[in-house]
Amino acid sequence: MASLLLVEDHTLFRAGIRALVERSASGHRIVGEAADGLTATRLARQLLPDITLMDVTMPTLNGIEAAGLLSRECPHTRVVILSMHADPAYIYAALDAGAFAYVLKDAAFGELETAIRTVLAGQKYLSQGVRHLLHHGHPQSGRASPLLAALSMRERQVLQLVGEAHSSAEIAAELGLSVRTIETYRQNLMDKLDLHSAAALTAFAIQSGVASPRSHGIADAPPPTP
């Protein structure tokens, strides 16, 4: 039996996962829920769950960045990514960030239970769909852009918020920093990425998958059927 923190910004999907967990015979219990990665990291520090079930594309702080923070700050909590993104770049980035498992949202619930048991045993797990994808994936797919890899955690967080169309004042309030500091981050990002306008910076955040697709009107996956 494990304590679970459920992190998913799609309300119906989150409710579906909760229902499946509560009805299963595993004995796992959900001790908290969050709709974004930043809230998830705060709750994980407070609740110390055994497992954090985490989506990838979420506002404020995406699941990959949140997994990186948790792997350093809450090593007791092991991250299981539950995502609609069937792209090797996302999978490798999540594993590099410290996630213990990657499960696609269209997998059967039994696969998620297997992932949780495997992770609790201290081993990593990739769902069947992920293993097939990595074995037969497109040659052009691969690890995340080296440009992103060169950015600090805070720079990637600012980049995500820029891509989600937040103003410097809104980003400053969200991160507890000054507007001047955020403007400095913006300029540093443009310098590092060789971009020359705010619009280009926003476009890069979206195209690289850092910004949440929902902030640009892209629908998420449907919820599972309990």
Query: Residue 98 carries which DSSP code?
Result: T
Summarize pLDDT for 156-192 with one digit per residue, the tens: 888 888 888 888 999 999 888 999 999 999 999 999 8
Q: How confident is the model at residue 224 (pLDDT cuts 50, 70, 90)?
A: very low
Residue pair 115/82 in contact (Cβ under 8 Å)? The answer is: no
Tokens of 148: 């992103």
Q: How confident is the model at residue 202 (pLDDT cuts 50, 70, 90)?
A: confident
Residue pair 51/120 in contact (Cβ under 8 Å)? The answer is: yes
Distance between CA atoms of residues 7 and 61, nearest Å: 11
Residue pair 163/210 in contact (Cβ under 8 Å)? The answer is: yes
Q: Which amino acid is at 199?
A: A
Summarize pLDDT for 98-154 with one digit per residue, the tens: 999 999 998 889 999 999 999 999 999 998 888 877 766 544 444 456 677 678 878
Q: Is the pLDDT of residue 50 over 60?
A: yes
Distance between CA atoms of residues 45 and 130, nearest Å: 29
pLDDT for 225 equals 45
| List of domains in the chain | 3-136 (3.40.50.2300), 146-207 (1.10.10.10)
Residue pair 79/70 in contact (Cβ under 8 Å)? The answer is: yes
Summarize pLDDT for 59-108 with one digit per residue, the tens: 888 898 899 999 999 989 999 999 988 877 788 888 888 999 999 998 88
